[in-house]
């Protein structure tokens, strides 16, 4: 029997990505973000989420993806504090598609020959059957612990 893992699948630009559901505390609608002067460009600012100041990271800028225009479908995935070394952190995504179970057999490693700069932040490629045809949608499974460990001191 194949091991099951739950992930949150989301979209950034035209790509599909996922993170472990255990590190996602909640998903909230986009709201006003207060910019922080002189912050790195991937830090969009902060929000007040029910009385808690939460740092907001633009995930597409952080991991070098193309950015989309702001839209009504954008969401903030608020992460569990232990995922970000005790900080309140949320990531901006273009839309959240689903929470789904992934079987080990449906995950492939990134292709060989890619630099470790790319592969160290990716747990694997999740293959999801689209419909009755044999078409597969590929979802990049992002290792948020490793991504955040590079920016949170």
- pLDDT for the residue 121: 84
- pLDDT for the residue 135: 81
**Parallel, antiparallel, or unpaired: how do β-strands 136-142 and 15-20 relate?**
parallel
Query: Are 47 and 100 a contacting pair, CB within 8 Å?
Result: no
* Cα-based distances in Å from 130 to 12, 20, 100, 127, 138: 18, 21, 14, 9, 10
Query: Are 117 and 133 a contacting pair, CB within 8 Å?
Result: no
- pLDDT for the residue 31: 95
- CB neighbour list of residue 65: distance below 8 Å, 6 or more residues apart: 12, 13, 15, 59
Q: CA triplet 25, 148, 30: central angle to 5 degrees?
A: 45
Alpha helix positions (H), the chain: 59-62, 116-119, 144-149
Number of domains in the chain: 1
pLDDT along the chain (153 residues), means of 10: 87 94 96 95 95 93 82 93 86 95 89 61 89 83 89 71
Measured distance CA(100)–CA(69) in Å, rounded: 27
- pLDDT for the residue 1: 52
**Residue 99, domain extent:** 4-149
Measured distance CA(85)–CA(100) in Å, rounded: 26
Give 57's strand partners.
Answer: 43, 91
- pLDDT for the residue 113: 55
- pLDDT for the residue 30: 95
Could you tell me the CATH number of the domain that includes residue 119? 2.40.50.180
- pLDDT for the residue 82: 84
Q: Which of 14, 151, 130 is nearest to 79 (CA)?
A: 151
């Amino acid at each position: 029997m194949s091991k099951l893992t739950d992930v949150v699948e989301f979209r950034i630009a035209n790509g599909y990505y996922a993170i472990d559901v255990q590190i996602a505390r909640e998903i909230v609608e986009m709201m006003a973000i207060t910019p922080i002067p002189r912050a790195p460009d991937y830090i969009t600012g902060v929000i007040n989420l029910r009385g808690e100041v939460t740092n907001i990271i633009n995930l597409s800028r952080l991991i070098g993806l193309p950015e989309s225009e702001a839209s009504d479908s954008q969401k903030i995935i608020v992460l569990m504090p232990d995922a970000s070394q005790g900080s309140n952190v949320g990531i901006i995504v273009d839309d959240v598609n689903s929470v789904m179970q992934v079987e080990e057999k449906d995950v492939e490693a990134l292709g060989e020959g890619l630099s470790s700069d790319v592969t160290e932040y990716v747990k694997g490629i999740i293959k999801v059957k689209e419909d009755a045809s044999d078409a597969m949608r590929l979802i990049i499974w992002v290792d948020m612990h490793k991504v955040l460990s590079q920016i949170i001191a």
